[in-house]
Amino acid sequence: MLLTQILSQQFNKQAVVELLKNIPGMTWTPAVNEHFMNMSSSFNVRRSFNTLPQFNQIFTVPKSFSWLDEKPECLQVRDHGDCNSSIAFQAVGQFSDNRCISQFDKTRINYSEQYHISCDTVDYGCEGGYLAQGVLFIKQAGVPTLECVSYKSGTTGLRGKCPITCDDGSEIQLVKSQNYFYVGGEEGIKAALSQGTVYTYFQIYEDFMYYVDGIYHHQYGDPVTGIVVSIVGYGDEEGIPYWIVRNSLGTSWGENGYFRVIRGRNECEIEVEAYIQIV
């Protein structure tokens, strides 16, 4: 039996949905979710815990904040398809966000996840890699626009060769970030959000495979894999603090491609190691 078929059966059990629905204090809605049918358990994001320069801007942050409210035109949810490439999608997505937020690009320009997947030889394409390497690659090598190198791995599931020209044969023009900084903890992430969206690790447990909407907190099941996501804001609902987080499963998943997760207690390790790209 194919691994994807095994995982499809494992994470599409109505019995688990009923179990979750009956847990007291649930703040999110569970349901059978086909978006995770092609999630591979071999995909792995490795955290670095290195001693990179830290983002230390100190000032009073607002009680709530979201780039979805401040500059919705600068954010976009993408879909990595059959290639589990959340490192590339969120690193490049954050780069696109922050160039628009900072007005380096007058409107949002999507940069190429495919170039990152195919050309970053330190990470493993569709099979995971190192968290910090996702943003380091953009600083050191740069990425072209999506118009130059379109996304192909989402239908093939393969890394593909590093392109030497744009899809139309023209010269590739690479754009780099100026720098990136390590961010850790609730207050550090909130401060970094003043500059743009924040790229971070998220540990997936079995119950997250059933997330539909609401403020997620882990209630059931074992760890499945680690992915990369982008924090775009934070808020509070009926006394429950939360992060607003972008996934890369398209807009039909979760809350229009986003999910909320409880904030301030390092839920699913989301507050351990994060990065802000300075474009």
Q: What is the CATH number of the domain that holds 59?
A: 3.90.70.10
Question: Pairing relation of β-strands 274-278 and 179-183?
Answer: antiparallel
For the stretch 109-159, pLDDT in tens is 999 999 999 999 999 999 889 999 999 999 999 999 999 999 999 999 999
Counting the structural domains of the chain, the total is 1
Q: Percent of the chain at pLDDT above 90?
A: 77
pTM: 0.90
Domain that holds residue 30: 3-278
**Residue 16's pLDDT band (boundaries 50, 70, 90)?**
confident
Q: Is the four-CA dihedral 84, 86, 89, 92 of positive or negative sign?
A: negative
Could you tell me which of 185, 217, 187, 189 has the C-alpha nearest to residue 203? 217
Looking at residue 59, its pLDDT comes to 64
Nearest to 11 by CA among 20, 259, 23, 26: 20
Residues in the chain, total: 279
| pLDDT recorded at residue 58 | 59
54 pLDDT above the threshold of 70? no
Where is pLDDT greater, at 238 or 51?
238
Chain segment 174-197, per-residue pLDDT in tens: 999 999 999 989 999 999 999 999
Q: Sort 97 into a burial class: Cβ within 10 Å, 0-12 / 13-18 / 19+.
A: buried
pLDDT tops 60 at residue 42:
no
- Which pLDDT band, with edges at 50, 70 and 90, does 56 fall under? low
